[in-house]
Amino acid sequence: MSGHLSTLTTAPPSDPLGGAWLAQAFQLPWPEDLPVVSRMGGRRATQVTGNGWLETWPEAARPSADVVSHLLFHLRHEVPHQGLLARLFEQIGPDVIQAWVDAEPTGQYARRAAFLYEWLTGQTLRVPAGLAGNYVDALDGTRRVVASTGRGQRVPRWRLVDNLPGTRHFCPLVVKTDAVRSAESLDVHQLVDGLMAEFGPDLLMRSAVWLTLRESRASFSIEGEGNQVSRVQRFADVMARRLGQGTVPLSADVLAELQQDILGRRTSLGRFGLRQSPVFVGETVRYQDIVHYVAPPAADVAAMLEGVRVFLDRTQGQPAVMRSAVVAFGFVYIHPLADGNGRVHRFLINDILRRDGVVPDTMILPVSSLIADDAQVRRRYDQVLDGVSRPLMSLVREHVDFARKPIVYPDGVSSNFCFSGDALARPLWRYPDLGPHVCFLADVLGQTLATKMREESRYLQLHARARAALKEIVEMPDAQADRVIRSLQQNEGALSNVLAREIPILAEPGVWAEVVEAVSAAWQGDADPS
């Protein structure tokens, strides 16, 4: 990159080139997540945008005013945008691409265009006589996440390597902006090792149950259901038993088992597993349904989940933070279950981190706890989700309706929700920009490990010291000692009448004063429990 660097918001430029020209010329919906926007200008320059880069080119670089020239520019100088190309190919049909590859059967960009046309549309072009050339990657991986080396598939038909990190039914866009590169560099394993060195593995293992309960409770709190004791306990048990175990819960059978574990047997659902009903995310205001996001139709769900699975397979060895974010947020946008999507979404964050070996089997990172407890983090969480839902709804809102009578679907869901915008929404469902989600998760994980878990571990460490100091004065079971410490803190050092009756020795002369002094010193970190 060269030229002046600054920060700005991407918008359709005047005198556009490449992808922006194609969007304008064919009146395609403007892709807000277009990674590279190119325009004509007085001199060559690169500017940093919220999504990627704004590239300015001198007049000598202007392509001819036709679809092939600007498509070539898009493939050569920009980051190919699958959603844009899917809409473009649907409009122009096969003839333009067929003519291009017929005219240039050895050209790498013509071959790339032909492959991408087939990949995105599911239609087949004719391979021209004389097709040749060295194998090339379908996508350049310098500016976006692609399949790991050796994980792509050779396509002899077009003499290239399919290195797309997914399938045509789900293939996320993760642009390698400076922010994403920084997020990917977060060394979760090193931060965990630091906690181990500071507090010891035994203490962290003892805190695992507490952290699991906190994470479970926070997950419900995010969904507005914080006071669900039995459900919280059940979800905590599921996380403790199933994180990182067996196969990743992306297939119909495994998801059905996980969903049943999370929800329990007493549910209104007619069946567990992939939903067979439409779903939207929204709220009811004065008896009026407000739709914030429409999920893909039930018929698309299985193929999209397979795309998530392929993403995991093809990106093996790449940063765990990135993989975890894509899988977890990809899942929530697909919304494959009739109930329990949010909990599985947050389950998957820890599940992938554990499978990738950056978090030990004994540890659960309380990511949901930070989101639930910190209003600023919660707002950012909502904003990140809005980054996909808002552009989608602006495009398809007029296709949302509610029938007068509900339909009972095979999974037991009764719904009057109607949606006729599947064709418009599919490019956004299939190829979401998840770079901001990677950045968000990295920030949350960093805060969780550097602050949240350190605070929790320090608390448990001091509590253990206080308990040991107390038992040096009065021998008692751990549960009773915890009761004394809690009462001391709640009553600001005074001996309550209830506690004095429960443990009479505490009321003997001088005993309570010794307890207060010892516990206070231990809690301040001044006592040596040894």
Q: What is the pLDDT of residues 362-409, one digit of tens each?
A: 778 878 777 777 789 889 989 999 999 999 999 999 999 999 999 999
Bridge partners, 400 (sequence order):
419
pLDDT score, position 61: 95
Residues 289 and 424 occupy one common structural domain:
yes
Backbone phi, psi, residue 367, to 5°: -65, -45
Q: 111, 130, 162 — which closes off a domain?
A: 162
Can you give the pLDDT at residue 1? Answer: 34
Final residue before a domain boundary, out of 99, 134, 162: 162
Report the b/e string of 257-267 with b at 16+ CB within 10 A: ebbbbbbeeeb
Among 99, 131, 162, identify where a domain stops: 162
Mean pLDDT score, 109-133: 97
Q: Identify whether residues 141 and 217 lie together within a single domain.
A: no
Report the predicted TM-score, pTM, of the whole model to 2 decimal places: 0.87
Instruction: Identify whether residues 268 and 368 lie together within a single domain.
Output: yes
Other beta carbons within 10 angstroms of residue 91's beta carbon come to 13
Q: Are 13 and 82 part of one and the same domain?
A: yes
Look at the alpha carbons of 275, 278, 283, 285 in this order and tell me if their dihedral is positive or negative.
Answer: negative
Question: Domain check: are 312 and 426 in the same one?
Answer: yes
Q: Using CA atoms, how far apart are residues 433 and 175, in angstroms rounded to an integer? A: 8
Residue 457 lies in a domain: no
CATH number at residue 280: 1.10.3290.10
Do 275 and 313 fall into the same domain?
yes
Q: What's the confidence (pLDDT) of residue 271? A: 80
* 140 and 187 fall within a common domain: no
Of 487, 458, 492, nearest in space to 470 by CA: 487
Please check whether residues 195 and 290 belong to one and the same domain: yes
Q: Give SS3 for 158.
A: coil
In a 3-state reduction of DSSP, which class is residue 16? strand
Q: Is residue 152 part of a domain?
A: yes
Q: Is 528 part of any domain? A: no
Q: Classify residue 517: in a domain, yes or no.
A: yes
C-alpha 514/C-alpha 339 separation (Å) is 54
Quickly tell me which residue has 């597993």 as its tokens.
273
Whether 490 is covered by a domain: the verdict is yes
Dist CA 310 CA 318 (whole Å): 14
| Section 281-310 average pLDDT | 88
Please, what is the average pLDDT of the chain? Answer: 88
Same domain, 33 and 151: yes
Closest CA to 463 of 530, 525, 514, 517: 525
Instruction: Judge whether residue 210 has pLDDT over 70.
Output: no
Per-residue pLDDT tens for 503-519?
999 999 999 999 999 99
Range(s) of the domain holding residue 483: 474-523
Per the structure, the count of domains in the chain is 3
Joined together, the tokens standing for residue 487 give 């009462």
Within 13 A of 299's CA, how many CA atoms are on the CB side? 3
Same domain? For 373 and 400 the reply is: yes
The verdict on 117 and 209 lying in the same domain is: no
pLDDT in tens, 218-269: 555 555 544 444 666 777 778 888 889 999 999 999 999 988 888 877 676 7
The tokens of 196 are what? 């181990």
